Structure 1
Amino acid sequence: MNEMVKILPEAALPEGGARPWTVEAARRWRDARVPLLFAPTVVCWLLVPLVFYGFSLVGSDDPETAASSGTDWVGYHSAILFLALPAWYRYLPAATAVSAPVIALDMAGRLYGPDHVTDEGRAGCWLVIAVCAWTFTGAVLRLRARRRQRALFLEAAGDARSPIPEHLPDGHRHRGRRPILFGGLLTLTGAACLAWALVADLGASAQAPYNAINQQMLSLLLLIPGPPLLGRGLTARRAARRLHDGPQPVLRVGVRGRTSGYTWLVADARTTTAPPLIGFRSRFGDTRRFWSGGGRVLLAGPEDRLRAEHHDIDHTREPYEAVLYGVPCEGAEVLLEYAVHAAPLSGSSTIASELTAAPLLPVRLHRLKPWKPAGTSYSLQRLRQ
């Protein structure tokens, strides 16, 4: 297993260099995120019971007349959008900003329309409107926070730009394919089922109306996860492709891992008070390793000298330095190039570069303990012990 080098050698830096991300600038970047009341993960889990409770209250007010007067399509589109709202808000704030007003307007029409609304139905409508107002506000604030964080990072990076490394991880090149495939399949199947129901309903006579409740329920089950999954895949793929839109801003940052869970970006690998900024999942396919032909040889020489001058660390206990390519914010993807002590080649030790593609997630709870710099090689310490 390769060991992370604490501080990058000069040979690892891109042409023109890369500034360090100062702790003060990183704190401003972190403070630009939305308040906890609108945090995506928190809101998503709070929305699940609220959405199902509101849906049950509004649904209890619907008269069961489909058997005698045909299929009831009133509010069906809002039901799909509302039940998918937790997924929309978690992954696609732009879609939430569009769907939430549509749902709220439909509920307002139900409240003030000519049909009688029971007390339970009225309470359900107001609950749905309140949820829509909450998610719409959060979605708009999140989009604003993303723009603000991009601007702050570009200010910190200055004019430093560099093309991304040539050899990229497989996970980056295939980003979004599975969600696009499965989401598209669910969406197309649900749409086909709806088309079948519409054709059958429109073709039925007034004397023998068609009840498409079974197709409606099947479409509902398919269209709740389908479009959000498809949208998530498309946005993830676009975030990955954005790194190929010319030279990218570069900064030196810190990266700290855990034995399980998320890996975290920190402003600086040297400053012990630098706070964790944003996390990502470190998957095997998202890293291009040196032994797979994806890295550059940075330094070579006697192992004792290399480990003394560029010591390795336990990356779960303290951060290591990396060059960040791209603009970090919630939903973005960045590339992290760092140095490792690779396997010995022809009797000499080697320091090489490795590359990780990091789709950034809006997580906040890090559970990282305070750290102190070891100052010496972690591998040599283990051998002595």
Structure 2
Amino acid sequence: MSKTSIPIPSGSVSEDVPAWLSADAAAWTGARPGPWARPFWSVLALLATVVAAIATEPVPVCSEAAPCGPDWIGMVQMGLAIGLLYWQARLPELALVAAPVLAVIVAWEEFPSAGWASLAANVAVIAALGFGWATAWARLAARQRQRRLVERTARSEHRRVELAKPLTRGAIPISAGLALCAVAVGAIVLGLHAVHADEGQATRATRTEAEVTGRTDMSLRVRTLDGRRITVDAFFPEDYSLGTTVAVLEDEGWRRLAAEPYDAFGWQLLALAGGLPGLSLLTTGLLARRRGAALHHGPVPALRVLERLDHEGMTRVYAVDDAAGSTPLFACTCIPVFPDGDEREELGAETADVHAADDTDDVPITETRLHEAVMLGAPYEGAELASITTGTDGTPMVTRTIGSVRLPGPAKGPAEEASADSAGSAPSLA
């Protein structure tokens, strides 16, 4: 493979744009959070402690003094715990808010009635939440450090990215997120309405004492004091021993146990199924839109770099003095920004051997030479970037990222260039 990079056409960018050298790139790489802040550890800690807390939680017995009604706080607890398993890995902004909320709920709800085993498990849950919060904070702080380092390297050189058409970044996830959140809100409203209707029915019902004479998986057979034998639905029939007395509420064909009010579990499950992905999509879309707007609506740092499109369609970025392209700093998926339809068709024909058609598997990506480029924006985990680079025929081309910026693993960076050269290939990005 030729190691001669394809230059940017003369006049397409100013000559005074600073270069991103390996020394500056090494400082940028070193600003990443430590291995302890990898999402894997916080997710594993939360999953293990939540499972332990569920296993040791005392099971309440339904009674008239403590009826088994809908548990809305429990729904929130479950939703936040499930959501945090994803948010700690992909959305530290959301984890930074959700972790303290869940910790407060756990302490408020679980501590007063917990036994020693359950108390220890819930303390471990709060510790895991604190660890997850610290990792999210470390990752966000690392992004700030990396942005400042890039801005310092770029000095006063900032450029504005011209939009070919209105900004649409994040529109699809925002729309989908709003729709799913609307489903979740509707499920909560309908669940509350069903609970209210059940309470009204119970208020009008006649209370009857009855003896338990038999049980099935989902009901009790009881005999009332006046000799009637009836069957009543039960969520927890195992809680009622044969021969015990239970209270049954009856009202014109409607019947239930006094200790088991209407359980809105179905509506709660629908609320979680819609609310968790809805909130995640909405947050992802808003973050993408904010980052895209910051990239296109204001001056951004500009640095000279080298780029290479690999055989998987990923653009790998290198320091300017890494002429061999041995140590990628990060990777991202980029698409051309076309000013109009005519130029889109023209540039699409020019770069057909680089950007394979989406619906064709037979067109290989053959261009893997290094290209000189000007990177616009500050790279970090999840950043939005643009670049001024060259097509395969040497004509200038503006590209922008789609999807997240992928950073190398903790052991990869410019300092490992020598070992990468001896291996004969570029290190993989995690």
TM bracket (short chain): 0.7 to 0.9
Secondary structure of 2:156 counterpart: coil
Cα RMSD, aligned residues only: 3.6
1:288 to 318, 326, 337: 337
Matches within 5 A, 1:158-173: 158-167=155-164, 173=167
Letter of the structure 2 residue corresponding to residue 181 of structure 1: S
Distance across 1 between alignment mates of 2:346 and 2:7? 13
CA distance in 2, matches of 1:5, 1:341: 13
Q: How far, CA to CA, are the matches of 2:306 and 2:272 in structure 1?
A: 45
- Cα 1:235–1:66 shift into 2, 3 Å: farther
Maintained 8 Å contact 1:12/1:338 = no
Which SS does the other structure have where 1:341 is aligned? coil
Specify which of 304, 311, 332 is matched with residue 383 of structure 2.
332
Q: Does 2:412 align with 1:361?
A: no
Asked if the contact 2:12/2:396 (under 8 Å) is kept, the reply is no
* Partners of 2:173 and 2:53 in 1: CA distance: 27
In structure 2, how many angstroms separate the alpha carbons of the residues matched to 1:279 and 1:47?
29
- The reply to whether residue 155 of structure 1 matches residue 152 of structure 2 is yes
Distance 1:182 1:137, change over 3 A: same
- Whole-angstrom CA distance in 2 between matches of 1:26 and 1:198: 55
Please list the CA deviations of residues 235-292 of structure 1 after superposition, one character each: whole Å capped at 9, or x if unmatched: 011111111222222111122333227432222264447632222234xxx3236996
| Residue 210 of structure 2: aligned partner | none
Residues 268 and 274 in structure 1, CA contact (< 8 A), matched pair in contact too? no
1:25 aligns with 2:24: yes
Residue 154 (structure 2) pairs with residue 145 (structure 1): no
> Amino acid of the residue matched to residue 278 of structure 1?
F
2:98 maps to 99
Alignment CA distance shift 1:20-1:333 (3 Å) = same
In structure 2, the residue corresponding to 1:17 is in which secondary structure? coil
Q: Paired residue for 1:70?
A: 69
Letter in 1 for 2:194: A
Question: What is the alpha-carbon distance in structure 2 between the residues aligned to residue 337 and residue 87 of structure 1?
Answer: 34
Q: Distance in 1 between matches of 2:53 and 2:305?
A: 46
Give the corresponding residue for 2:224. none
| Match 1:237 to one of 267, 289, 306 | 289
Q: Which is higher, the Rg of structure 1 or of structure 2?
A: 2
Are 1:319 and 2:370 an aligned pair?
A: yes
For residues 56-135 of structure 1, the aligned pairs below 5 Å read 56-57=54-55, 60-63=57-60, 65=62, 68-113=67-112, 116-118=113-115, 121-135=118-132
2: CA distance, partners of 1:44 / 1:178: 29
**Compared with structure 1, are the counterparts of its residues 56 and 111 closer, same or farther at alpha carbon in structure 2 (3 Å cutoff)?**
closer
Contact 1:327 1:334 in 2 (8 A): yes
1:326 CA displacement:
1.5
- 1:106 partner letter: I
- Alpha-carbon contact 1:278-1:360 (below 8 Å) kept: no
Aligned with 2:177 (options 175, 183, 186): 183
1:54-113 deviation digits (Å, cap 9, x = unpaired): 57437x535264994421223322221111012222332222111111111222224432
1:13–1:46 Cα change, 3 Å: farther
CA distance in 2, matches of 1:150, 1:296: 35
Query: Quick one: structure 1 residues 81 and 16, their matched pair in 2 at CA, closer, same or farther if it must change by over 3 Å?
Result: same
Equivalent residue of 2:395, what SS?
A: strand
Post-superposition offset of 1:190? 0.9
Aligned length: 336
**Partners of 1:71 and 1:210 within 8 A in 2:** yes
| Cα distance change on mapping 1:155 and 1:70 into 2, 3 Å | same
Say which SS state the counterpart of residue 20 (structure 1) adopts: coil
Deviations 1:124-174 (A, max 9, x none): 423321321111001111221111111110100011122224537xxx943
3-state SS of the aligned residue for 2:388? Answer: strand
Among 289, 292, 301, the alignment partner of 1:249 is 301
In structure 2, do the counterparts of structure 1 residues 64 and 324 end up closer, same or farther at CA, with 3 Å as the change threshold?
farther
Q: Determine the structure 2 residue equivalent to 1:222.
A: 274
Between 247-256 and 5-14, the greater mean CA deviation after superposition: 5-14
Contact 2:21 2:321 in 1 (8 A): no
Aligned equivalents of 2:6, 2:387: Cα separation in 1? 14
Which amino acid counterpart does residue 95 of structure 2 have in structure 1?
T
Q: What is the CA-CA distance between 1:119 and the residue it aligns to?
A: 5.2
Alpha-carbon distance in structure 2 between the residues aligned to 1:12 and 1:6: 18
Stretches of structure 2 that go unaligned for 5 or more consecutive residues are 204-248, 250-260, 348-364, 423-430
SS at structure 1 position matched to 2:385: strand
Rate the CA distance shift 1:23–1:195 in 2: closer, same or farther, 3 A: same
Tell me the TM-score normalised to structure 2 length.
0.68
Return closer, same or farther for 1:63/1:289 CA change in 2, 3 Å cut-off: same
- Residues 107 and 279 (structure 1), Cα distance of their counterparts in 2 relative to 1, 3 Å cut: same
**Aligned 8 A contact 1:18 1:250 in 2:** yes
Identity %: 26
Aligned to 2:192: 198
Name the CA shift for 1:324/1:47 in 2 (closer, same or farther; >3 Å).
farther
2:317 maps to which residue?
265
Aligned partners of 1:288 and 1:356 also within 8 Å: yes
Decide which moves more: 64-73 or 77-86: 64-73
